[in-house]
Amino acid sequence: MDAETLQVEREAGVVTVTLNRPERKNAASGLLWQELLVVLREVDRRRDDRVLVLTGAGGDFCSGADLSDPAGMSNDPADPHLVRMQVVSEVVLTLHQLHRPTLAKVRGVAAGAGLSLALACDLVLAADTSRFSAIFARRGLSLDAGASWLLPRLVGLQRAKELAFFADLLGADEVAALGLVNRVVPDEQLDDLCDRWARRLAAGPPLALAMTKRLLNDSSSLTMAQALEDESRVQTVNVATADVAEAMRAFVEKREPRFEGR
């Protein structure tokens, strides 16, 4: 798609979506929310899109929603605020539920809804100079864009309250210690690390990874018995796929498997 606020690149199964409003530290305008939702839905439909990398242009990830945008978050100034918020919610939920592994590659600032976008990805890689904040309270706002659900699950309830109430700007090492990111590396190594992880994920079994993601996302709301039942169901699907047969052949032939997602 042609997008004004995003750059979309595809290579070897990896889709890199770059938030492209560097003059606003990639603050999410109404148009950006709309375009991002279209791209995410497109990725979910395309068989060849096997991994999504979300990042920002100009040295920042995303400074949050653009509260100065006269069109509002739904890109229609006539919409009531609840409708505008529902657009943001739909984007974050679509990202969280995407049937693909997702990677956030974070440089610079990830604040407010930008923090939520990063944490809604499956994995977060950060440059050592990056900064993170649940900045909502500093703007007189409560948590949104999924932050009230994401933060307690990642850092626990008490830590989540600390992050939300004080809205401090934290360095990469601080958020790594809290468990909000998977890796922190020097800025010059971030692209290489993200490329290597994305290529490994793109080479993995698409169906199995999608179902594993769903199992893990659902796990906190299930009993052990329910989780075991879900595992049994998806494993029954997996063993009937061509990918499992390919994995067995590759093991016998001492080579890497070539998974096709069928």
Are 157 and 35 found together in one domain? yes
191, HSE (Cβ side, Cα atoms, 13 Å) = 5
Instruction: Quickly tell me which residue has 């305008």 as its tokens.
Output: 29
CATH number, position 232: 1.10.12
pLDDT in tens, 131-166: 999 999 999 999 999 999 999 999 999 999 999 999
Confirm whether 68 is domain-assigned.
yes
Same domain as 54, residue 164: yes
Residue 261 inside a domain? The answer is no
What is the reported pLDDT for 74?
64
Are 17 and 84 within one domain? yes
CB environment 41-67: b (16+ within 10 A), e (fewer): eebeeeeebbbbbbbbbeebbbbbbbe
Q: How large is the average pLDDT for residues 34-51?
A: 96
For residues 8 and 35, the answer to whether their CB atoms sit within 8 Å is no
- Residues 197, 216, single domain; the answer is no
Domain co-membership, 140 together with 226 = no
| Per-residue pLDDT tens digits for 166-219 | 999 999 999 999 999 999 999 999 999 999 999 999 999 999 999 999 999 999
- pTM greater than 0.85 (yes/no): yes
Q: What is the domain count for the chain? A: 2
Q: Are 242 and 125 within one domain?
A: no
> Which pLDDT tens digit goes with each residue over 66-116?
988 776 666 667 777 777 788 999 999 999 999 999 999 999 999 999 999
For 68, 114, 176, 204, the CA distances from 134, given in Å and listed in that order, are 19, 9, 15, 33
**Pairing state of beta strands 102-106 and 14-19?**
unpaired
Owning domain of residue 172: 6-202
